[in-house]
Amino acid sequence: MKIILLGAPGAGKGTQATKIAEKYGLIHISTGDIFRANIKGGTEIGKLAKSYIDAGKLVPDSVTCEIVKDRLSKQDVIGGYLLDGFPRSLYQAEELSKFADVDLCLNLEVDPALIMDRICGRRVCACGESYHVSTLNGSTTCAKCGGELYQRDDDNPETVKARLGTYNVMTAPLIAYYSAQNKLATVVCGTKTPDEVFEDVCKVLDSFQK
Ligand code: AP5
């Protein structure tokens, strides 16, 4: 399966992507993670990306599309992949269609009222695990690997507002775009836990595979 995971900031894309990739044996490709790794590594791409990420804007298409095109040219994606956070605009979707033929766009629909708390309360580990402070009982280390938890630089109220604005203008039109291609499936998250959302996601993916 070649899947796009779509959703507003904080919809749970990363959370679900980890579970989906593990259960269905797909390669998880997150453009946000790729940019953050470049920022950490001090690369030229990282230096460029940081200014856009901190402002809640999209990193320029020329850079982003090239990164994804290059990643999808690797051998390990032959068995299937999951694109988390790409495409994020109609332009990126058109570019993607030139070098990949995705099967499904899975849209995670979340109540906008939940987003600010989810993101500003998020703590992440370098291993990729993500938590909400309310579930940590004061712990500052990762339950999975023991690493120190930290807050992403763009997980602050001001940047989250900008990210949501960017999503509404640039990314939300992709829902209609993939719906018109009969490739859209929406999972409504409501107040469901990550595991409950995952059950709904599996129903969609299992029926798609049949
Ligand atoms: P990116 O890293 O993709 O960030 P995002 O889209 O804003 O998404 P998030 O990572 O914030 O949220 P998520 O949906 O993954 O939710 P999560 O599972 O973590 O992109 C960052 C930046 O990089 C962009 O702003 C842009 O600048 C740049 N960028 C990336 N891709 C780009 C592209 N294609 N083009 C140009 N620029 C690009 O969950 C969030 C929180 O909620 C966590 O605390 C989690 O524990 C909790 N949670 C999850 N599910 C539930 C649930 N069901 N119930 C309760 N809590 C939950």
Mean pLDDT of the chain: 95
Q: Is 152 a catalytic residue?
A: yes
Separation of CA 74 and ligand 1 centre (Å): 24
Q: How far is the CA of 118 from the centre of ligand 1 (A)?
A: 10
Q: Tell me what percent of the residues of the chain surpass a pLDDT of 90.
A: 91
> What are the φ/ψ torsions at residue 109 (nearest 5 degrees)?
-100, 120
Q: What is the mean pLDDT of residues 69-73?
A: 97
pLDDT classification of 203: cutoffs 50, 70, 90: very high
Q: For 54-83, what is the mean pLDDT?
A: 97
Using the mean position of ligand 1's atoms as its centre, give its distance from the Cα of residue 115 in Å. 10
Residue 191 has pLDDT above 90, yes or no: no
- Best residue among 36, 72, 105, 118 to mutate for probing ligand 1's pocket (most ligand atoms within 8 Å of CB) is 118
Name every protein residue with a CB atom under 6 angstroms from any ligand 1 atom.
7, 9-15, 31-32, 35, 52-53, 56-59, 64, 85-86, 88, 92, 118-119, 122, 130-132, 163, 189, 192-194, 197
Q: What is the DSSP letter of 58?
A: P
Q: Is the pLDDT assigned to residue 210 strictly greater than 80? A: no
Residue 88 designated active-site: yes
- pTM confidence score: 0.94
The answer to whether the peptide bond before residue 87 is cis (omega within 30 degrees of 0) is yes
The CA 129 to ligand 1 mean position distance, Å, reads 12
Q: How many CA atoms lie within 13 A of 123 on its CB side?
A: 17
- What integer is the mean pLDDT of 147-168? 96
Each residue of 123-151: b (16+ CB within 10 Å) or e? bbbeebbbbebeeeeeeeebeeeeeebee
Is 163 marked active-site? yes
Quick check: helix, strand or coil at residue 107?
strand
pLDDT at 52 over 70: yes
3-state helix, strand, coil in the chain (%, to 5): 50, 15, 30
Residue 122 appears among annotated catalytic residues: yes
pLDDT in tens, 87-133: 999 999 999 999 999 999 999 999 988 999 999 999 999 888 888 99
| Confidence band, pLDDT 50/70/90 cuts, at residue 208 | confident
Average pLDDT of the segment spanning 138-164: 95
Query: Counting Cβ atoms within 10 Å, is residue 158 exposed (0-12), middle (13-18) or buried (19+)?
Result: exposed
